[in-house]
Structure 1
Amino acid sequence: MPTLRLHAALAEIPAPQWDALAGQAPLAHALLAGLEASGCVAPRTGWTPRHAALWEGDTLVAAMPLYLKAHSYGEYVFDWAWADAYQRHGLDYYPKWLAALPFTPVPGQRILGRDEASRQLLLARVLEMVQGSGASSFHLLFPTDEEAGWLQAAGLELRHGVQFHWHNAGYASFDDFLAHLTHAKRKKIRQERRKVAEAGIAFRILRGAQIQADDWAFFHACYARTYAEHRSTPYLSRAFFADHASQAGDACVLMIAERAGQPVAASFFLQGADALYGRYWGAVEYIPCLHFEACYYQAIAYAIAEGISRFEGGAQGEHKLSRGLEPVRTTSAHWIADPRFADAVADFLARERGGVEDYLDELSERLPYRAGEAP
């Protein structure tokens, strides 16, 4: 019978064994280990790694990125109201258990394993562990539909949200993609791209080892400025990008906007086997429509050129709809220890799910594609 172990650092698990189960980005060992090595994910920042792993001797058969959280920042599934309700009743909501990819709302497999039986066994063992831990709750964010089914069958409540993804219908070029949009949306996108071009902006696209230390330094300055403009603190440090993200190899894609050879903005993406994941961006000055170009249009053009099947634009932002991204339902799963709060959360989530379905229907009626041409 495999043995369950909790690891205080991903470095305790050999990268080849983890990656054999996880595949490419975004759950690659280099990214998760880099977050820890740089101090972005650490007890002092409210993230205490307790990665769950099933071992047969020295062989890893299943694994899950798992943390004890002292807050709810960096998750993109918001349970602040639940924490507040606990506090108002004199109870501790934190620490809580969280299975997720830190700071990254990318849907995908969270329960890794060599086969389905190993993955289901790991889930059962983790749930047994967390339910006996005395913690308030357990949350698994952005699982696959298969995993969501396992979690629901195990008694967890499902929560739905909305993201916006672009799907490649085999487009030959960006103009080919535009040809599938309505005239009004096609015209708007061309006007926005023209404004950027007329401002003298050109893009330099770098991947993996092509990204140099100066490029990471400039990007981080842009990234930090974006957070400062929203009166917030960035989750990721310059050390993470400079010293660790570059080790993730071709999973990292950096798009740098330049004017007269000088960088003015940058956007950062993760690239997997069949998807491009939009993450962060920033600019040192305001240039009309540059955000749309750097975060969406360049990404779509890159995905078409590279034959990538989809581009995930991340959470929130109905403005993405008019630029060719489509609404996609996302899922998270939640277990609350206290039966009184569990019942209240279950009732809330049932009502919320109905609202999300109505919202998805509304968004689907506003897709920018010509009749019968949505991918």
Structure 2
Amino acid sequence: MKQAPGPAPETSSLTVRAMTGLKEIGAAAWDACAFSPETLAAGDETYNPFVSHAFLSALEDSGCVARKTGWLPLHVAVEREGTLLGVAPCYLKSHSQGEYVFDHGWADAYERVGGAYYPKLQVSVPFTPVSGPRFLIAPGADPDEATPGLVAGLRALRAETKASSIHVTFMREAEWERAGAAGFLQRTDQQFHWENAGYASFDDFLNALASRKRKTIRKERRDALAPGITVEHLTGADITEAHWDAFYGFYMDTGARKWGRPYLNRRFFSLLSERMANRVLLIMARRGGAYIAGAINLIGDTALYGRNWGCIEDHPFLHFEICYYQAIDFAISRGLKRVEAGAQGEHKLARGYRPVLMHSAHDIADPAFRRAVADYLQRERAHVAEAVDVLDTLTPFRRTDADAVGDAAARSTPSSPESPST
């Protein structure tokens, strides 16, 4: 791409490049943007592993992300007079798989009236429903210049590729507000995160729960390990190719049975170990000398991010133990602020995970379809906000009298909004 038109005169002198892979930008330059004070200013994280060059390049170099998988890298970089101001991880998509912000209904509605929803531009971390920065600002750059420049570049790229739309998913709230001010449609969803209130131990966390909930969790943990199962935490050089072989077997088996579409190949996990092993936590369950289940997590500076789980034996509560309780144990031991356990799962509520809002922003070229989606999103945001309020009254934490009064006022189950139509 050459020069991209900006939304205001001050962006008109910026140059925008679309890169067909991270090989076109060095790790040092990319990571300087991903972890700059300007990028991190609006959040509590100092290192989000998913936007690192190591993680994103492992997806590309393993072939998980490529034209043939429907994820063509077109990362956007904005410069002024040869000086890099910011980058955004962007992909030209030919489908809506592996995103976790669902727009299949939008695609169906648009195509029913003769529109072409694909290709579309996706600004995200592929296959990863984890919030984090999406507009990565270079050190010393002005976010008020770099962010509009990236937005202008994305819109120019949308026109050049004849994409129907731009979708920035799992972004931080401050970026979401900026995108809304730039004319993007705003969307919300919910996840469940565990928050560390300065707990000294797992028992300390349990003491914050209602008595009945404490007993339930203790019983689940006992029952999960009752059949002679032991659990290991592996990170860094302790993770071997044999561990990855075992875990990949769990991942493929569970993916095939539950979701039907495992997105990651075996090579990806080896590359992850080569490039960022100290940021990987494998929680593995063993019975009778053999591994039977495991979960992969990535370690940030302030959070533990649970990603994929699998098993080849079914044991009651083992999923909760490996994915939720062991993650809490690890987070407490490392002094991490929270555990993000991935998409969906109201069952996480009873395990001490609270509902939190997720944010995405969408820019749709067709004015008529944009109006239909905007109307839908207005109703959906209200539904999601109400649902989060209701779900927060159902957590297992001990409640004060004031909590009880608030719960009584909040208890009502909102109805879901309908899909957009034109």
TM-score (norm 1): 0.96
- Is structure 2 residue 33 aligned with structure 1 residue 21? yes
Deviation readout 1:63-117 (Å, 9 max, x if unpaired): 1000100000000000001111122122211000110010001111100012423
- Given that residues 14 and 149 in structure 2 are in contact (C-alpha distance below 8 angstroms), is that contact kept between their aligned partners in structure 1? no
Write the mapping of 1:141-220 to structure 2, written as runs, cut at 5 A: 141-220=169-248
- Given that residues 225 and 283 in structure 1 are in contact (C-alpha distance below 8 angstroms), is that contact kept between their aligned partners in structure 2? yes
Structure 1, 354-363 or 116-125: larger mean CA deviation: 116-125
Pairwise CA distance, 1:196: 1.8
Q: Which 4+ residue blocks in structure 1 deviate beyond 4 angstroms? A: 56-59
Find 1:4's aligned residue among 6, 16, 20: 16
Q: In 2 relative to 1, CA 215–137 (structure 1 residues): closer, same or farther, beyond 3 Å? A: same
Deviation readout 1:226-277 (Å, 9 max, x if unpaired): 1111251200001111234442231211111112332111100011111110
State the match for 2:370 in structure 1: 342
Q: What is the CA–CA distance in structure 2 between the aligned matches of 1:246 and 1:304, rounded to whole Å? A: 27
- Given that residues 190 and 358 in structure 2 are in contact (C-alpha distance below 8 angstroms), is that contact kept between their aligned partners in structure 1? yes
State the match for 1:125 in structure 2: 152
Find 1:228's aligned residue among 240, 251, 256: 256
Deviation readout 1:291-333 (Å, 9 max, x if unpaired): 0001000000000001111100111110000100000011110
- Is structure 2 residue 256 aligned with structure 1 residue 243? no
Pairwise CA distance, 1:340: 1.0
Q: What is the CA–CA distance in structure 2 between the aligned matches of 1:58 and 1:34, rounded to whole Å? A: 27
Q: What is the CA–CA distance in structure 2 between the aligned matches of 1:311 and 1:135, rounded to whole Å? A: 35
Q: In 2 relative to 1, CA 49–187 (structure 1 residues): closer, same or farther, beyond 3 Å? A: same
- Given that residues 52 and 126 in structure 1 are in contact (C-alpha distance below 8 angstroms), is that contact kept between their aligned partners in structure 2? yes
Pairwise CA distance, 1:37: 0.4
Task: Among all aligned residue pairs of Structure 1 and Structure 2, give the percentage whose two residues are the same amino acid.
Answer: 47
State the match for 1:317 in structure 2: 345
Structure 1, 120-129 or 85-94: larger mean CA deviation: 120-129
2:30 corresponds to which letter in structure 1?
W
SS in structure 2 at match of 1:142: strand
1:308 corresponds to which letter in structure 2?
L
Pairwise CA distance, 1:58: 6.2
2:358 corresponds to which letter in structure 1?
T
Equivalent pairs counted in the alignment come to 374
Find 1:42's aligned residue among 66, 72, 79: 66
- Given that residues 276 and 303 in structure 1 are in contact (C-alpha distance below 8 angstroms), is that contact kept between their aligned partners in structure 2? yes
Q: What is the CA–CA distance in structure 1 between the aligned matches of 2:319 and 2:124, rounded to whole Å? A: 28
Q: In 2 relative to 1, CA 202–59 (structure 1 residues): closer, same or farther, beyond 3 Å? A: farther
- Given that residues 235 and 281 in structure 2 are in contact (C-alpha distance below 8 angstroms), is that contact kept between their aligned partners in structure 1? yes
Find 1:364's aligned residue among 382, 392, 397: 392
* C-alpha RMSD of matched pairs (Å): 1.7
SS in structure 2 at match of 1:230: helix
Q: Which consecutive unaligned segments of at least 5 residues does structure 2 have? A: 1-12, 36-46, 404-422
Pairwise CA distance, 1:56: 5.0
Structure 1, 178-187 or 224-233: larger mean CA deviation: 224-233
Q: What is the CA–CA distance in structure 2 between the aligned matches of 1:340 and 1:327, rounded to whole Å? A: 34
TM-score (norm 2): 0.85
Structure 1, 213-222 or 56-65: larger mean CA deviation: 56-65
- Is structure 2 residue 93 aligned with structure 1 residue 93? no
Q: In 2 relative to 1, CA 246–265 (structure 1 residues): closer, same or farther, beyond 3 Å? A: farther
